Amino acid sequence: MLPVTLARFLVEAERKNPAVSADLRFLVEVVSRACKAISIAIGKGSLADVLGGAGSDNIQGEAQKKLDVISNEILLDANEWGGHLAAMASEEMDGPHQIPRRYPKGEFLLVFDPLDGSSNIDVNISVGTIFSVLRCPEGAGDVGEQAFLQPGTQQVCAGFAVYGPSTLLVLTLGDGVKCFTLDREYGHFVLTQENMRIPDDTKEFAINMSNQRFWEPPVQRYVGELLAGKDGPRGQDFNMRWVASMVADVFRILTRGGVFMYPVDSRTKDKGGKLRLMYEANPMAMIVEQAGGRATTGRERILDIQPTKLHQRVPVILGSKNEVERVSAYHRG
């Protein structure tokens, strides 16, 4: 039997699920095409002079890499003309990107982190693209920031690509999590995992340990107990991984379980945390919950947060249900 391509999967999803409209199907296909183009650009590396800094900063004061800028452009170009979007927003742009007036507008808002894990680009480690789709509440005219400020529970769809040894696309349309692998010979994504599930329990955690001295007491306590292993209150050893590309860390958790933490700490308290709610936390939280895991700030469910600004940052603790619930309990206690 022929493999199920992303195109076929989406056509069948549209037939089965009234929530999947032709426009949503088209949107996901267009985003997947952009991810293919980004994957090709990343794969060329030094051969195409795409590595290194762009010489510019984004709105959040972070130095942009050339591939941050290239990936952002690829996603904008791919999505402007199709008539399926009302506007776009990205980690790399100051405010909403309007659809040029020469094109028709659609009902969806597309939000993305064009290249997650940028610090890993130049060292040949997996990076990715994260995206989230919302419905636009406004009518005609330009779309303002306010239209995007919807809690993660309103997401129609979320996904991420990982540009690693294989290029993967992880997708949820609100009924489970699928994984597609890019077949480089045929040039299309093929369904390779139909129902990704995160085990409730795990012996693996992911956190940047170099920030330990800045953490709040609940996270100190939790990680301290994991590090104590067999000799501590947990009575078992735990293993640690930290790729510093959220896409790779979350993919590992979707594959074999684990808990990922980028908690707020004394240095990031004023900003609210490190990771961005709209571009990183919300799409990943939707995917993780759809796979049976949990996603919290420690104090509240990420998907319930009412955003107050586009570039808002939040603490992120997500993954295997029982571990995330334990971290939340430590925050309450």
- Return the number of the residue (113 or 323) whose C-beta is nearest Mg ion: 113
Q: Does 266 bind ligand AHM (CB under 6 A)?
A: no
For residue 312, the minimal CB distance to ligand AHM (Å) is 14
Q: Which residues lie across from 170 on neighbouring strands?
A: 160, 179
Main-chain dihedrals φ then ψ at residue 144, nearest 5 degrees: -90, 175
Which residue has 């795409």 as its token pair? 50
Question: Which of Mg ion, ligand AHM, none binds 94 (CB below 5-8 Å, type-dependent)?
Answer: none
Note whether 42 and 67 are within 8 A (CB): yes
- Residue ranges of alpha helices (H) inside the chain are 6-16, 22-44, 66-80, 217-228, 246-256, 282-290, 321-332
Closest-by-Cβ residue to ligand AHM is 246
Q: Does 56 bind ligand AHM (CB under 6 A)?
A: no
For residue 276, the minimal CB distance to ligand AHM (Å) is 7
For residue 248, the minimal CB distance to ligand AHM (Å) is 8
Q: Does 312 bind ligand AHM (CB under 6 A)?
A: no
Give residues with Cβ within 8 angstroms of 4, minimum separation 6.
Answer: 190, 191
Give how far Cα 101 sits from Cα of 88, 142, 230, 321, Å.
14, 10, 63, 46
Give how far Cα 120 sits from Cα of 100, 116, 157, 228, Å.
33, 9, 27, 30
- Considering only 23-31, 114-122, 295-303, 317-325, which stretch makes contact with ligand AHM by CB under 6 A? 114-122
Q: Which residues lie across from 19 on neighbouring strands?
A: none
> Which one among 192, 244, 255, 330 touches ligand AHM, defined by CB under 6 A?
244
Q: Convert 258-273 into a string of H (helix), E (strand) and C (coil).
A: CEEEECCECCCCCCCC
For residue 250, the minimal CB distance to ligand AHM (Å) is 9
Main-chain dihedrals φ then ψ at residue 105, nearest 5 degrees: -110, 155
Report 204-233 residues binding Mg ion (CB under 5 A). Answer: none
- Considering only 99-107, 117-125, 216-224, 283-291, which stretch makes contact with ligand AHM by CB under 6 A? 117-125
> Which one among 75, 179, 219, 246 touches ligand AHM, defined by CB under 6 A?
246
Q: Does 116 bind Mg ion (CB under 5 A)?
A: yes
User: What tokens does 331 get?
Assistant: 């925050």
For residue 193, the minimal CB distance to ligand AHM (Å) is 22
CB atoms within 10 A of CB 140: 7
Report 119-148 residues binding ligand AHM (CB under 6 A). Answer: 119
- Return the number of the residue (228 or 244) whose C-beta is nearest ligand AHM: 244
Residues that bind ligand AHM (CB under 6 A): 62, 113, 116-119, 208, 244-246, 262
Residues that bind Mg ion (CB under 5 A): 113, 116
